[in-house]
Structure 1
Amino acid sequence: MNLSDIVVLQVIPRLNSGGAERTTLEIAQALTRVGAKAIVVTEGGRLADDICTAGGEVIKLPVASKNPIRIIANIWKIRKIIRDYGATLVHARSRAPAISAFFAARWQGVPFVTTYHSTYSQPRREPFKSIKNFYSSIMARGDRVIANSHFIGNLIAQRHQTGNDRVRVIYRGLDSTYFDPEKITPKAVAAMCAQWGVDENDRVVLFPSRISPTKGQMVVIEAVAQLGPALKQGLKVVLPGPELATPDYIALLQQRIGQAGLGDIVKLVPECRNMPVAYLAADVAIGGSLIRPEAFGRTAIEAQGMGCPVIANQEGGPAETVLDEDAVGVDAFTGWLIPPENPVALAVALEKALSLTPAERARLRTRARAHIMTRFNADQMRIDTLAVYDELLGCDLAVFYKKIVKQASL
């Protein structure tokens, strides 16, 4: 099969700012670079233009809907897209659209790939647990099932009894050209601080996760409340994105911030869309949920890639990406792993991070970026994903992409 004959159809609810969305874009970029065609079926989002700029095509369908009637209707619509565009492989990245994509792909006789992007939490009680597990099982029904961490690979095996012959662990990767500290000017960092209402001399704790009870902003507030007066002096805790959160939860956070006397320390700021600058403006970042295990933990590798010390949940994907001080020692660590829902442990980790000397911080910055660029770079993720497509299509997408990467590095 010629590479120009390969048409990969990715299906994702929306194209906004999450890890699944950015991975969709990165795979579309890789496909077009080797001469294949990339199509993305989605409801839209701000990354849609980037797909088109990369040479891909975006087709808008209401695939975010969980309405059974809509899901069934989408089977016929996606099947028509597969037929009209000559799609040779379908790759689904979320449950509701995966149901439609699965039946459409089977109907047209093309390979079906899924990426298990989340832990897909389950109710504790039956029959709700069984129903939710059945709903999530569509993500384990691909001809190949991509897990974005070994943690997720093990979860798939335990929950769905999916064999290793179909599961491929592929870590998400960091785009080294976008997350590049050398491209960020001091002026850009100063502008970010000004947007946050933070002085450049302040010590900044950044928690760039969606503001939600499942992420753990309340744990951060409780931890900061436990810090001593010296550490609180000149400290700012930045929580981006209150406009995207539920008003009730924001009100609850603001109430607790006031009760703890942290009104001058904890700042709720608008959503940040320039994360490379944000990480350079921070002294320490909290990577991912402090409540539930993260499937992978994109913010943890982003922070490390920008040389920012990171604190993350010891359960889930970050345990595979963060080099914990207690595990690897003071000469090799890139952050701290702490138990979930533990403000005491978070307070201890914050004290360590905020107490780093300039020399210690500089050494950490160098080794953290090297760690991420070596093991979690975007090109390796692209190569590994294209290799999965190769397994099913009998082609050489990964080989050609490797050549492109090698030539670009010369």
Structure 2
Amino acid sequence: MSSPLPPLASLKNKTILQVVPEMATGGVERTTVEVASAIIEAGGRALVFSAGGRLVQDLEALGAKHIHGEANSKNPWTVFVSNVSKLVQIIEKEQVDIVHARSRAPAWSALLAARRTRTPFVTTYHGIYNAKSGLKRWYNSVMARGDRVIANSGYTRDHVLEAHKIDLDKIEVIYRGVDVDAFDPQNVSDKRKQELASQWGVSRQCPRPRAILPARLTAWKGQKVMLEALGHLKRAGVEIDCLLVGDPQGRDSYQAELAQEIRRLGIEGHVHMVGHCNDMPAAFSLADFAVTPSIEPEAFGRTAAEAQAMGLPVIASDLGGARETVEDGVTGFLSSAGDGKALADCIGRLLALSPAEKAAMGAAGAMRVRSRFTTRALQAATVSLYQRLVEA
């Protein structure tokens, strides 16, 4: 039985507009839904401007208002002219008290609209953006131009301070949150597990250790590193199964490359590319441990935190926000990024642990998430920031 949630600060009669490219799937979009829920609970009105997507229905079910527009466009005219005009109209018509932008292109539109209407402006720095030119650094800088800037980890905060030289008092670390009631193994029924296993064509009880790699299919998430590790393990006489859980999002050529690599390594039947999953708690319940082998820094690493909440040990790349979500040797292991042999060695270390040691590692991870990375903590901190900004 879950404990009562602590109350939120009041946003009574306040209207908050969040601006995101689209409401498809991913950490940014899910955080948008979570914050919209908190705004409504705090007595405010929650608006979201985006190009739409599968999570719009979740927003509207909460009582939030979705306003459709070309928020995902990078066309300069759309970004700097037409979307600015549309957002000004929304701000004035809906009497918006705060504009909160979560991605660069729509953030430029939101910044200009907020300045034109003298509306407080908040940004969340969700990712670590590449900046190989002065123009790209200027483009990225919009995410540091908020009256308040939210960083989703200490790693992200340090990056923002170094890249954009903003005042420390303008930036606040608010970790991404995990719904610890949803991601609780005791709350995942046998029926859900069996239905998902049947849908994916895998056994619920695998005779071999089973890993899960939860990430959209894109090269920087490290799926190829995981396959390389599986190849090393097979040559050493160790066979494990792996679930690659994530949507290719149009990257069909990359998905084909992964399939070709699986055949080359001779690990067909051990690797299952199962696509998008709407029930990640059940997905984690089908695995013995999770792997997040990103080859570029994760700003936070929400899937690693979700896996730990489910009591799974996690092996993550030793860079970026993963160093804050995974405690090396305690809740899992940190492995050299991009190194399949190092990842295979970490998996071997994990498999060599006794059942009691694995259980203790999983329990330590669950405790860490529940003390530091909950959805409620994210909601409370964000609503508090909104309230302070409105009052100021």
TM-score of the two chains, using structure 1 as the length reference: 0.89
Describe how 1:9-408 pairs up with structure 2 within 5 A.
9-71=17-79, 72-123=81-132, 129-199=133-203, 200-202=205-207, 203-228=209-234, 232-233=238-239, 235-241=240-246, 243-287=248-292, 289-325=293-329, 333-394=330-391
- The answer for the alignment partner of 1:328 in structure 2 is none
> 1:101–1:346: structure 2 CA closer, same or farther, 3 Å change rule?
same
- Secondary structure of residue in 2 paired with 1:44: coil
Alpha-carbon distance, 1:339 to partner: 1.5
Which moves more between the two structures, 213-222 or 261-270?
A: 261-270
Contact 1:7 1:89 in 2 (8 A): yes
Contact 1:231 1:351 in 2 (8 A): no
Structure 2, unaligned runs of 5 or more: 1-8
- The answer for the alignment partner of 1:400 in structure 2 is none
Contact 2:217 2:248 in 1 (8 A): no
Which moves more between the two structures, 342-351 or 74-83?
A: 342-351
Alpha-carbon distance, 1:196 to partner: 2.8
Alpha-carbon distance, 1:44 to partner: 1.0
Deviations 1:228-249 (A, max 9, x none): 467644x211112365352222
1:8 aligns with 2:5: no
**Structure 1 runs (4+) greater than 4 angstroms displaced:** 228-231
Rounded to whole Å, the distance in 2 between the matches of 1:185 and 1:46 is 25
RMSD: 1.8
Contact 1:179 1:306 in 2 (8 A): yes
Rounded to whole Å, the distance in 2 between the matches of 1:24 and 1:290 is 24
Contact 1:196 1:238 in 2 (8 A): no
Structure 1, unaligned runs of 5 or more: 124-128, 326-332, 396-410
- Secondary structure of residue in 2 paired with 1:114: strand
Contact 1:41 1:60 in 2 (8 A): yes
Q: How many residues align?
A: 381
TM-score of the two chains, using structure 2 as the length reference: 0.93
Deviations 1:138-184 (A, max 9, x none): 00000001000111111111111111011111111111222121111
Contact 1:92 1:115 in 2 (8 A): yes
